[in-house]
Amino acid sequence: MIQKVIELIEQNKSYYFLQDNNTFESVKFNSENHKVSGRILLSNEFHSIDLNLPDVSDAQLKKAIPFMIKDELIEDDSEDEWIQSKDSKEILAASSEYLNSVRDLAFQENLDFLTPFHGFDSEVNTLIFFENFVYVHSKRNKIRLMMSLATFNLSKESIFTQFKDAPLEVFSVEEISLNKDLKIQAKVFSSYEDLISYCFRSIDFSYFNLLQGRYEKRLDIAKLFKQSKKPLIALASIYIFFISLSLIEIMSFSFQIDNSQKKSKQVFNQKFPSLNYETDFEEIKYRLMRQNNDQDQLKLISTVSNAVTSLNSTNLNSFVLSQQRTAFEVEANSFADLERIIAKLEGEGIYAQIGTSNRSNNFIIGEIIIESF
Protein backbone atom coordinates (compact mmCIF):
# COMPACT_ATOMS: atom_id res chain seq x y z
CA MET A 1 0.00 0.00 0.00
CA ILE A 2 1.35 3.40 -1.02
CA GLN A 3 1.56 5.85 1.88
CA LYS A 4 1.23 9.59 1.36
CA VAL A 5 4.00 11.67 2.88
CA ILE A 6 4.69 15.37 3.33
CA GLU A 7 8.03 16.64 2.06
CA LEU A 8 9.98 19.59 3.44
CA ILE A 9 12.80 20.92 1.25
CA GLU A 10 15.67 22.97 2.67
CA GLN A 11 17.97 23.88 -0.19
CA ASN A 12 18.77 20.51 -1.82
CA LYS A 13 17.86 18.35 1.16
CA SER A 14 14.46 16.74 1.70
CA TYR A 15 12.75 15.47 4.84
CA TYR A 16 9.68 13.22 4.69
CA PHE A 17 6.90 12.76 7.23
CA LEU A 18 3.82 10.61 7.65
CA GLN A 19 0.88 12.55 9.07
CA ASP A 20 -1.54 11.09 11.60
CA ASN A 21 -3.96 13.85 12.58
CA ASN A 22 -1.69 16.47 14.21
CA THR A 23 1.36 14.25 14.67
CA PHE A 24 4.13 13.78 12.11
CA GLU A 25 6.52 10.85 11.97
CA SER A 26 9.81 11.10 10.11
CA VAL A 27 10.28 8.37 7.49
CA LYS A 28 12.97 7.36 5.01
CA PHE A 29 11.44 7.94 1.60
CA ASN A 30 11.01 4.94 -0.69
CA SER A 31 9.37 5.51 -4.07
CA GLU A 32 7.84 2.03 -3.98
CA ASN A 33 6.07 2.65 -0.68
CA HIS A 34 5.62 6.42 -0.53
CA LYS A 35 4.08 9.20 -2.59
CA VAL A 36 4.60 12.88 -1.85
CA SER A 37 1.18 14.48 -1.33
CA GLY A 38 2.29 17.92 -0.15
CA ARG A 39 5.46 19.99 -0.10
CA ILE A 40 6.73 22.72 2.25
CA LEU A 41 9.44 25.05 1.01
CA LEU A 42 11.99 26.14 3.61
CA SER A 43 13.48 28.94 1.54
CA ASN A 44 14.56 32.56 1.77
CA GLU A 45 13.15 33.22 -1.71
CA PHE A 46 10.02 34.63 -0.06
CA HIS A 47 9.84 38.04 1.59
CA SER A 48 7.03 39.72 3.50
CA ILE A 49 5.36 42.88 2.25
CA ASP A 50 3.80 45.15 4.85
CA LEU A 51 1.01 47.09 3.16
CA ASN A 52 -0.66 48.40 6.31
CA LEU A 53 -3.93 46.94 5.05
CA PRO A 54 -7.13 48.83 5.89
CA ASP A 55 -9.83 47.28 8.05
CA VAL A 56 -12.25 46.38 5.27
CA SER A 57 -13.89 43.22 3.97
CA ASP A 58 -11.88 40.44 2.30
CA ALA A 59 -13.56 41.18 -1.02
CA GLN A 60 -12.52 44.84 -0.86
CA LEU A 61 -8.98 43.88 0.13
CA LYS A 62 -8.63 41.55 -2.85
CA LYS A 63 -9.63 44.40 -5.14
CA ALA A 64 -7.27 46.91 -3.53
CA ILE A 65 -4.14 44.82 -3.04
CA PRO A 66 -2.99 44.66 -6.71
CA PHE A 67 -2.76 48.45 -6.73
CA MET A 68 -1.32 48.82 -3.23
CA ILE A 69 1.41 46.31 -3.93
CA LYS A 70 2.56 47.83 -7.22
CA ASP A 71 5.05 50.17 -5.57
CA GLU A 72 6.29 47.55 -3.11
CA LEU A 73 7.73 45.11 -5.61
CA ILE A 74 11.43 45.62 -6.03
CA GLU A 75 11.61 47.49 -9.36
CA ASP A 76 9.33 48.61 -12.17
CA ASP A 77 10.62 45.79 -14.37
CA SER A 78 10.57 43.31 -11.48
CA GLU A 79 9.43 39.78 -12.22
CA ASP A 80 8.23 39.32 -8.64
CA GLU A 81 4.80 37.88 -7.90
CA TRP A 82 2.86 38.13 -4.68
CA ILE A 83 0.91 35.57 -2.69
CA GLN A 84 -2.00 36.59 -0.52
CA SER A 85 -2.70 34.74 2.71
CA LYS A 86 -5.92 32.83 3.20
CA ASP A 87 -7.32 35.54 5.48
CA SER A 88 -6.20 38.32 3.09
CA LYS A 89 -4.19 39.97 5.90
CA GLU A 90 -0.62 39.15 4.87
CA ILE A 91 1.39 39.22 1.66
CA LEU A 92 4.49 37.33 0.53
CA ALA A 93 6.45 38.00 -2.66
CA ALA A 94 8.90 35.90 -4.63
CA SER A 95 10.41 35.90 -8.09
CA SER A 96 8.20 34.58 -10.89
CA GLU A 97 11.03 32.36 -12.10
CA TYR A 98 11.32 30.63 -8.74
CA LEU A 99 7.56 30.34 -8.22
CA ASN A 100 6.98 28.93 -11.69
CA SER A 101 9.69 26.31 -11.24
CA VAL A 102 8.32 24.98 -7.93
CA ARG A 103 4.69 25.24 -9.05
CA ASP A 104 5.31 23.49 -12.37
CA LEU A 105 6.95 20.57 -10.57
CA ALA A 106 4.17 20.37 -7.97
CA PHE A 107 1.52 20.48 -10.71
CA GLN A 108 3.23 17.68 -12.63
CA GLU A 109 3.30 15.60 -9.44
CA ASN A 110 -0.37 16.46 -8.77
CA LEU A 111 0.36 17.51 -5.18
CA ASP A 112 -2.44 18.32 -2.77
CA PHE A 113 -0.64 21.43 -1.53
CA LEU A 114 2.50 23.52 -1.94
CA THR A 115 3.35 26.16 0.64
CA PRO A 116 6.31 28.06 2.06
CA PHE A 117 7.27 27.40 5.68
CA HIS A 118 5.96 30.92 6.32
CA GLY A 119 2.60 29.37 7.11
CA PHE A 120 4.06 28.66 10.57
CA ASP A 121 2.14 30.59 13.22
CA SER A 122 2.51 31.12 16.94
CA GLU A 123 0.98 33.37 19.55
CA VAL A 124 4.44 34.38 20.77
CA ASN A 125 7.61 35.56 19.05
CA THR A 126 9.61 32.68 17.63
CA LEU A 127 13.11 31.96 16.32
CA ILE A 128 13.66 28.60 14.63
CA PHE A 129 17.20 27.51 13.76
CA PHE A 130 17.51 25.04 10.89
CA GLU A 131 20.65 23.69 9.22
CA ASN A 132 21.02 26.62 6.81
CA PHE A 133 18.29 29.09 7.72
CA VAL A 134 16.68 30.92 10.61
CA TYR A 135 12.96 31.57 10.65
CA VAL A 136 11.89 34.76 12.43
CA HIS A 137 8.23 35.11 13.39
CA SER A 138 6.36 37.86 15.21
CA LYS A 139 2.59 37.79 14.99
CA ARG A 140 2.19 41.22 16.58
CA ASN A 141 4.56 42.89 14.12
CA LYS A 142 3.53 40.69 11.17
CA ILE A 143 7.08 39.47 10.66
CA ARG A 144 7.62 36.25 8.70
CA LEU A 145 11.26 36.06 7.64
CA MET A 146 13.42 33.19 6.47
CA MET A 147 17.08 34.18 6.31
CA SER A 148 20.44 32.50 6.03
CA LEU A 149 22.46 31.94 9.19
CA ALA A 150 25.03 34.47 7.95
CA THR A 151 22.37 37.13 7.41
CA PHE A 152 20.87 36.45 10.82
CA ASN A 153 24.23 36.86 12.55
CA LEU A 154 24.72 40.22 10.83
CA SER A 155 21.28 41.56 11.67
CA LYS A 156 20.39 39.79 14.92
CA GLU A 157 20.75 42.85 17.15
CA SER A 158 18.22 44.69 15.01
CA ILE A 159 15.94 41.67 15.13
CA PHE A 160 16.22 41.39 18.90
CA THR A 161 14.89 44.93 19.30
CA GLN A 162 11.62 43.66 17.80
CA PHE A 163 11.36 41.10 20.60
CA LYS A 164 12.30 43.26 23.55
CA ASP A 165 10.06 42.93 26.62
CA ALA A 166 8.10 40.04 25.07
CA PRO A 167 8.47 36.25 25.43
CA LEU A 168 10.61 34.66 22.73
CA GLU A 169 10.48 30.96 21.89
CA VAL A 170 13.71 29.57 20.44
CA PHE A 171 13.70 26.18 18.70
CA SER A 172 17.00 24.57 17.75
CA VAL A 173 18.98 21.34 17.62
CA GLU A 174 21.92 22.80 19.50
CA GLU A 175 22.08 25.27 22.37
CA ILE A 176 21.96 28.81 20.97
CA SER A 177 23.63 31.71 22.75
CA LEU A 178 21.50 34.84 22.39
CA ASN A 179 21.03 38.24 24.01
CA LYS A 180 20.61 37.65 27.76
CA ASP A 181 18.13 40.51 28.07
CA LEU A 182 15.55 38.59 26.06
CA LYS A 183 12.82 36.56 27.73
CA ILE A 184 13.83 33.33 26.06
CA GLN A 185 11.93 30.06 26.28
CA ALA A 186 14.34 27.59 24.67
CA LYS A 187 13.44 24.17 23.31
CA VAL A 188 16.31 21.98 22.09
CA PHE A 189 15.58 18.96 19.88
CA SER A 190 17.65 15.83 19.34
CA SER A 191 17.49 16.07 15.53
CA TYR A 192 16.27 18.29 12.71
CA GLU A 193 13.60 15.69 11.97
CA ASP A 194 12.20 16.13 15.49
CA LEU A 195 12.40 19.92 15.17
CA ILE A 196 10.54 19.93 11.85
CA SER A 197 7.95 17.46 13.09
CA TYR A 198 7.24 19.73 16.06
CA CYS A 199 6.97 22.82 13.84
CA PHE A 200 4.53 21.09 11.47
CA ARG A 201 1.90 21.18 14.22
CA SER A 202 1.84 24.98 13.92
CA ILE A 203 1.79 25.26 10.13
CA ASP A 204 -1.41 25.95 8.24
CA PHE A 205 -0.69 24.20 4.93
CA SER A 206 -3.27 26.34 3.15
CA TYR A 207 -2.40 29.76 4.63
CA PHE A 208 -0.08 30.67 1.73
CA ASN A 209 -1.40 28.49 -1.06
CA LEU A 210 0.93 28.41 -4.08
CA LEU A 211 -1.31 26.12 -6.13
CA GLN A 212 -4.00 28.52 -7.27
CA GLY A 213 -5.57 29.30 -10.61
CA ARG A 214 -4.05 27.23 -13.40
CA TYR A 215 -1.89 25.38 -10.85
CA GLU A 216 -4.85 24.15 -8.82
CA LYS A 217 -5.04 20.39 -8.53
CA ARG A 218 -7.03 18.80 -11.33
CA LEU A 219 -8.00 15.31 -12.37
CA ASP A 220 -5.87 13.84 -15.15
CA ILE A 221 -8.32 12.75 -17.85
CA ALA A 222 -5.77 11.00 -20.06
CA LYS A 223 -4.42 9.03 -17.10
CA LEU A 224 -7.91 7.98 -16.07
CA PHE A 225 -8.66 6.76 -19.57
CA LYS A 226 -5.48 4.65 -19.64
CA GLN A 227 -6.13 3.10 -16.25
CA SER A 228 -9.67 2.02 -17.10
CA LYS A 229 -10.60 -0.94 -19.31
CA LYS A 230 -13.64 1.03 -20.34
CA PRO A 231 -12.79 4.73 -20.56
CA LEU A 232 -16.23 5.75 -19.40
CA ILE A 233 -15.81 4.02 -16.07
CA ALA A 234 -13.18 6.64 -15.42
CA LEU A 235 -15.89 9.29 -15.78
CA ALA A 236 -17.71 8.25 -12.62
CA SER A 237 -17.35 11.81 -11.45
CA ILE A 238 -19.09 14.23 -13.74
CA TYR A 239 -16.62 16.98 -12.99
CA ILE A 240 -13.99 15.29 -15.11
CA PHE A 241 -16.02 16.51 -18.02
CA PHE A 242 -15.75 20.10 -16.91
CA ILE A 243 -12.01 20.14 -16.46
CA SER A 244 -11.17 20.32 -20.15
CA LEU A 245 -12.18 23.27 -22.27
CA SER A 246 -12.01 20.93 -25.24
CA LEU A 247 -14.78 18.79 -23.76
CA ILE A 248 -16.84 21.86 -23.03
CA GLU A 249 -16.50 22.83 -26.67
CA ILE A 250 -17.70 19.37 -27.68
CA MET A 251 -20.69 19.47 -25.36
CA SER A 252 -21.74 22.88 -26.60
CA PHE A 253 -22.03 21.43 -30.10
CA SER A 254 -23.78 18.25 -28.95
CA PHE A 255 -26.67 20.11 -27.34
CA GLN A 256 -27.51 21.98 -30.51
CA ILE A 257 -29.86 20.73 -33.22
CA ASP A 258 -29.02 17.69 -35.31
CA ASN A 259 -27.18 19.58 -38.02
CA SER A 260 -24.43 20.33 -35.46
CA GLN A 261 -23.68 16.65 -34.88
CA LYS A 262 -21.12 16.58 -37.66
CA LYS A 263 -19.20 19.45 -36.04
CA SER A 264 -19.46 17.78 -32.62
CA LYS A 265 -18.00 14.55 -33.99
CA GLN A 266 -15.23 16.43 -35.78
CA VAL A 267 -14.14 18.25 -32.60
CA PHE A 268 -14.37 15.07 -30.49
CA ASN A 269 -12.23 13.04 -32.91
CA GLN A 270 -9.70 15.86 -33.13
CA LYS A 271 -9.33 16.22 -29.36
CA PHE A 272 -9.53 12.50 -28.45
CA PRO A 273 -8.41 10.39 -31.43
CA SER A 274 -8.15 7.25 -29.28
CA LEU A 275 -11.87 7.30 -28.37
CA ASN A 276 -14.92 6.33 -30.41
CA TYR A 277 -17.48 9.08 -30.87
CA GLU A 278 -20.51 6.82 -31.49
CA THR A 279 -19.98 4.74 -28.35
CA ASP A 280 -17.88 6.74 -25.90
CA PHE A 281 -19.24 10.24 -26.34
CA GLU A 282 -22.89 9.29 -26.45
CA GLU A 283 -22.54 7.41 -23.16
CA ILE A 284 -20.69 10.38 -21.68
CA LYS A 285 -23.57 12.62 -22.69
CA TYR A 286 -26.09 10.17 -21.28
CA ARG A 287 -24.31 10.09 -17.91
CA LEU A 288 -24.03 13.83 -17.95
CA MET A 289 -27.75 14.34 -18.57
CA ARG A 290 -28.62 12.11 -15.61
CA GLN A 291 -27.05 14.58 -13.20
CA ASN A 292 -29.36 17.20 -11.71
CA ASN A 293 -27.36 20.38 -12.20
CA ASP A 294 -25.07 19.60 -15.10
CA GLN A 295 -26.95 21.56 -17.75
CA ASP A 296 -26.96 24.57 -15.45
CA GLN A 297 -23.22 24.26 -14.95
CA LEU A 298 -22.64 23.88 -18.66
CA LYS A 299 -24.72 27.02 -19.23
CA LEU A 300 -22.68 28.79 -16.54
CA ILE A 301 -19.41 27.90 -18.28
CA SER A 302 -20.79 29.09 -21.59
CA THR A 303 -22.04 32.37 -20.10
CA VAL A 304 -18.74 33.12 -18.33
CA SER A 305 -16.78 32.24 -21.45
CA ASN A 306 -18.93 34.58 -23.54
CA ALA A 307 -18.54 37.40 -21.00
CA VAL A 308 -14.75 37.01 -21.01
CA THR A 309 -14.34 36.76 -24.77
CA SER A 310 -16.67 39.72 -25.35
CA LEU A 311 -13.78 41.92 -24.21
CA ASN A 312 -10.79 42.07 -26.54
CA SER A 313 -8.42 42.51 -23.60
CA THR A 314 -9.34 39.37 -21.62
CA ASN A 315 -8.80 35.62 -21.95
CA LEU A 316 -10.17 32.64 -20.04
CA ASN A 317 -7.18 30.56 -18.87
CA SER A 318 -8.79 27.80 -16.81
CA PHE A 319 -11.56 27.01 -14.35
CA VAL A 320 -12.38 24.80 -11.39
CA LEU A 321 -15.78 23.28 -10.67
CA SER A 322 -16.05 21.35 -7.42
CA GLN A 323 -18.26 21.00 -4.40
CA GLN A 324 -16.02 23.45 -2.57
CA ARG A 325 -15.73 26.25 -5.12
CA THR A 326 -16.53 27.43 -8.62
CA ALA A 327 -13.85 29.73 -10.00
CA PHE A 328 -12.53 30.91 -13.37
CA GLU A 329 -9.02 32.20 -13.97
CA VAL A 330 -8.96 35.19 -16.32
CA GLU A 331 -6.05 37.07 -17.88
CA ALA A 332 -6.77 40.78 -18.28
CA ASN A 333 -4.99 44.00 -19.14
CA SER A 334 -6.32 45.73 -16.04
CA PHE A 335 -8.35 45.21 -12.90
CA ALA A 336 -11.12 47.26 -14.50
CA ASP A 337 -11.53 44.49 -17.11
CA LEU A 338 -12.28 42.01 -14.35
CA GLU A 339 -14.91 44.36 -12.94
CA ARG A 340 -16.51 44.64 -16.41
CA ILE A 341 -16.81 40.85 -16.53
CA ILE A 342 -18.47 40.86 -13.09
CA ALA A 343 -20.96 43.47 -14.34
CA LYS A 344 -21.74 41.41 -17.46
CA LEU A 345 -22.35 38.31 -15.35
CA GLU A 346 -24.66 40.20 -13.01
CA GLY A 347 -26.64 41.22 -16.07
CA GLU A 348 -27.11 37.50 -16.76
CA GLY A 349 -28.25 36.82 -13.20
CA ILE A 350 -24.90 35.35 -12.12
CA TYR A 351 -23.44 36.79 -8.95
CA ALA A 352 -19.66 36.68 -8.67
CA GLN A 353 -16.74 38.41 -7.03
CA ILE A 354 -13.09 38.91 -7.82
CA GLY A 355 -10.85 36.53 -5.91
CA THR A 356 -7.08 36.38 -5.70
CA SER A 357 -5.37 38.54 -8.33
CA ASN A 358 -1.70 38.64 -9.29
CA ARG A 359 0.36 40.86 -11.57
CA SER A 360 2.31 38.89 -14.16
CA ASN A 361 4.41 41.04 -16.47
CA ASN A 362 1.93 43.55 -17.93
CA PHE A 363 -1.17 41.51 -17.17
CA ILE A 364 -3.50 40.83 -14.26
CA ILE A 365 -4.21 37.15 -13.58
CA GLY A 366 -7.41 37.14 -11.56
CA GLU A 367 -10.02 34.74 -10.25
CA ILE A 368 -13.73 35.15 -10.90
CA ILE A 369 -15.46 33.30 -8.06
CA ILE A 370 -19.09 32.38 -8.67
CA GLU A 371 -21.30 32.81 -5.61
CA SER A 372 -24.69 31.92 -7.09
CA PHE A 373 -26.32 31.37 -10.48
DSSP code per residue over 311-367 = STTEEEEEEEE-SS-EEEEEEESSHHHHHHHHHHHHHTT-EEEEEEEEEETTEEEEE
Q: Is residue 126 part of a domain?
A: no
Q: Is residue 68 part of a domain?
A: no
**Is residue 366 scored above 50 in pLDDT?**
yes
Q: Which own/partner contact pairs does 171-175 have at CB distance under 8 Å and 24+ positions apart?
A: 171/126, 171/127, 171/128, 171/129, 171/195, 171/198, 171/199, 172/128, 172/129, 173/129, 174/129
pLDDT in tens, 318-346: 777 766 668 888 888 888 889 899 999 98
Q: Is residue 157 part of a domain?
A: no
- Most confident region among 88-92, 245-249, 293-297, 323-327 by mean pLDDT: 88-92
Q: Is residue 115 part of a domain?
A: no
pLDDT of res. 61: 57
Q: Is residue 273 part of a domain?
A: yes
Q: Of the ranges 30-44, 69-83, 293-307, which one carries the lowest mean pLDDT score?
A: 69-83
**Is residue 239 scored above 60 in pLDDT?**
no
- Distance, in Å, from the CA atom of 48 to the CA atom of 204, rounded to the nearest integer, reads 17
For residue 264, which of 294, 290, 284, 287 has the smallest C-alpha distance?
284
Q: Of the ranges 79-83, 156-160, 268-272, 312-316, which one carries the lowest mean pLDDT score?
A: 268-272
Q: In percent, how much of the chain has pLDDT > 70?
A: 68
pTM reported for the whole predicted model: 0.59
pLDDT in tens, 6-39: 999 998 899 999 998 889 999 999 988 899 999 9
Domain range holding 294? 221-372
Q: Is residue 71 part of a domain?
A: no
Q: Is residue 242 part of a domain?
A: yes
Q: What is the CATH number of the domain that holds 302?
A: 3.30.1360.100
Which amino acid belongs to residue 287? R
- Distance, in Å, from the CA atom of 203 to the CA atom of 113, rounded to the nearest integer, reads 13
Q: Of the ranges 61-70, 263-272, 356-365, which one carries the lowest mean pLDDT score?
A: 61-70
> Mapping DSSP to helix (H, G, I), strand (E, B) and coil, where does residue 9 land?
strand
Instruction: Count up the domains in the chain and report the number.
Output: 1
**Is residue 358 scored above 60 in pLDDT?**
yes
Q: Is residue 28 part of a domain?
A: no
For residue 137, which of 172, 163, 107, 173 has the smallest C-alpha distance?
163
